[in-house]
A and B are shown apart, each in its own frame.
Chain A
Amino acid sequence: MTAQLTGDTVTLTGRSLRHILRSPDTIITTAVMPIAFMLLFVYVFGGAIETGIATGTDAATGPYVNYLLPGILLITIASGVAYTSYRLFMDMQGGIFERFQSMPIARSSVLWGHVLTSVIANLISLVIVVAVPLIMGFRSGAGLLAWLAVAGILILFTLALTWIAVIAGLSAKTVDGAFAYPLIFLPLISSAFVPTETMPGPVRAFAEHQPVTPIVNTIRDLLAQQPVGSEIWIALAWCTGLLIAAYLLAQLSYRRRVSQPSPRRRRRLSCPP
């Protein structure tokens, strides 16, 4: 059974990777938005923000782009996973999803194929996004181990967000509903762009107690060769917690989905509130 799951997952991952190869714009679009954000923040707001950070924190005060990069990476992932919802939703709209379900395959391989594809696609986008700040003057003396730790955290975060996107894709009624938009706002209200100390009370409370802030801080410290402290554990706890919760919820909605008629039919037969 496990061997079958692996085999089928590899086959289905190959299929959706082909989708990406044939429309590479999905990877480019994923990378362009965060890069635009980065340019905007570094070259437009950057001057004003930089002075604020220099006085407000004791963090290593390299160029602002150093401060910004971790948040930009998370935004890349948060927008990139939307394509997973989209591809999953489109599969269910066409008949291919039902064909897979009626075949003698490991049923969860249909989801795993999309999830692995998401991880690979997001990694490619991340590489593109990291290349740009290198041109813009970002430098890190971080060693291989620190970069591997960063990659590990990013993959964990991608997996967690992808499973959330799977839930969105499975439960969506329309294409627009398939996109897990709110995810993109998490990095905005965090320490990704400015230190949380500068925010008013309730906003600061939210920013400091949501997953993105500890993840951003950890990656920032790793790249700046600072001691990461206990925040890395909070970051990892958020990632694994989200991952487990999202995975279980996705399995639940998948099971509900595959034992029920397609949305097209359901909508015609009855009017949900």
Chain B
Amino acid sequence: MSIETASTPTIRVQGLEKSFKDLHVLRGVDFEVTRGSIFAMLGSNGAGKTTVIKALSTLLAPDAGTATVNGFDTATQSAQVRESISLTGQFAAVDEVLTGRENLVLVAKLRHLKHPKAIADELLERFDLTEAGGRRVATYSGGMRRRLDIAMSLIGDPPVIFLDEPTTGLDPEARLEVWQTVRTLAAAGTTVLLTTQQLEEAEQLADRIAILHGGRILVEGTLAELKRLLPPTEVQYVEKQPALEDVFLALVGKNGDPTIDGADAEGAHPDGTHPKDLP
């Protein structure tokens, strides 16, 4: 739209519509995602984020419109689309009865890869789950489950990954871990489409942000572009206080860098995730 996109987009959605009975969840959604970028779809509960993800991952058929993923049409080439993607749904898609390692081996086998055990061990290592690998997932914490969930999605190195509210219900440390994983993925060339209702998440991660509301994309652009939609900055003097998150992470965190002062002069808002901050 704004910057020229050299290559064809990895994800292209045009005029996507979907109704459930009388409820028009999607009323014509259009957007494109460039290869290797992180695209965040922002919206409140019930805005239709999950419906978009499900349509893109061939879990439901739209009423109208088209979507292509990695060059394949979701309606007519669904098998190829499924080869190209991984879905990490809103609720951790792990098998609680199996161990972490068995979950990974299961997915590797279903992706018909050679050496599923080696793949599992490598991912356990990478996601810091080696010790927990032999335990049943039912004993895992929320953060560990999410990590395993994402690890399962990486098996087979799909070029496109959908993350539906990947950090909902996670504590701040686990959230930072997930963010780090997402950044690493994109840096390695994976295209990431994530949905979130946390504004900070979109700010922190996304190359481009789209706001989904009322079944349509209201605005779409980089963070800077979105910020320009509002009147220019008005200089105010505000007493700088550490956000509770900074305090929490400084006291508890091993992952968050414990810099209470400085470093966050721009990004920090006192209450991080309140929608009313950003109209």
Residues of A bordering B, CB below 8 Å: 4, 7-8, 11-12, 15, 18-19, 22-23, 94-96, 98-105, 258-261, 265-266, 268-270
Contacts and interface: CB of A to CB of B under 8 A. Distances in A.
A103 B25 CA distance: 25
B109 A11 contact: yes
B58 to A, nearest CB: 7
A7 B82 contact: no
A239 to B, nearest CB: 32
Given A95-B93, A98-B87, A261-B51, A8 B22 contact: no
B43 to A, nearest CB: 15
A102 B58 contact: yes
Most buried by B among A4, A11, A270: A11
Contact of A98 (B89, B98, B109): B89
Given A7-B112, A258-B59, A259-B60, A99 B20 contact: no
Contacts, number: 86
B82 A98 contact: no
Contacts of A259: 59-61
Interface of B: 20-23, 25, 46, 50-51, 54, 57-61, 79, 82-83, 85-87, 89-98, 102, 106-107, 109-112, 136, 149, 152
Given A99-B89, A261-B54, A22 B23 contact: no
A100 B87 contact: no
5 contacts: A94-B95, A95-B91, A104-B83, A104-B111, A265-B50
A102 B82 contact: yes
A94 B54 contact: no
Contacts of A11: 106, 109-110
A11 B104 CA distance: 12
Contacts of A18: 97-98, 102
Nearest to B45: A268
Given A99-B87, A103-B111, 19 more contacts: A7-B112, A11-B109, A95-B90, A96-B93, A98-B54, A99-B152, A100-B110, A101-B58, A104-B82, A104-B111, A258-B59, A260-B60, A261-B50, A265-B50, A268-B46, A269-B21, A269-B25, A270-B21, A270-B22
Contacts of B60: 259-261
B59 A94 contact: no
Nearest to A270: B21
Contacts of A265: 50
B225 to A, nearest CB: 31
Contacts of B54: 98, 261
Contact of A94 (B25, B79, B93): B93
Contacts of B51: 261
B20 A261 contact: yes
Contacts of A98: 54, 57, 59, 87, 89, 93
The 10 closest A-B pairs by CB, nearest first: A95-B93, A99-B93, A102-B87, A95-B89, A102-B57, A95-B91, A104-B82, A104-B83, A270-B21, A11-B109
A263 to B, nearest CB: 12
Nearest to B25: A269
Nearest to A110: B110
A107 to B, nearest CB: 9
A254 to B, nearest CB: 13
Contacts of B59: 98, 101-102, 258-259
Contacts of B95: 15, 94, 96
A42 B122 CA distance: 58
Contacts of B58: 101-102
A262 to B, nearest CB: 9
A49 B5 CA distance: 84
A101 B86 CA distance: 10
A15 B21 contact: no
B42 to A, nearest CB: 19
Contacts of B136: 22
B155 to A, nearest CB: 10
A104 B271 CA distance: 42
Nearest to B112: A7
Given A95-B90, A104-B79, A270 B20 contact: yes
A96 B50 contact: no
Most buried by B among A98, A100, A270: A98
Contacts of A94: 91-96
A261 B106 CA distance: 25
B61 to A, nearest CB: 5
B111 A96 contact: no
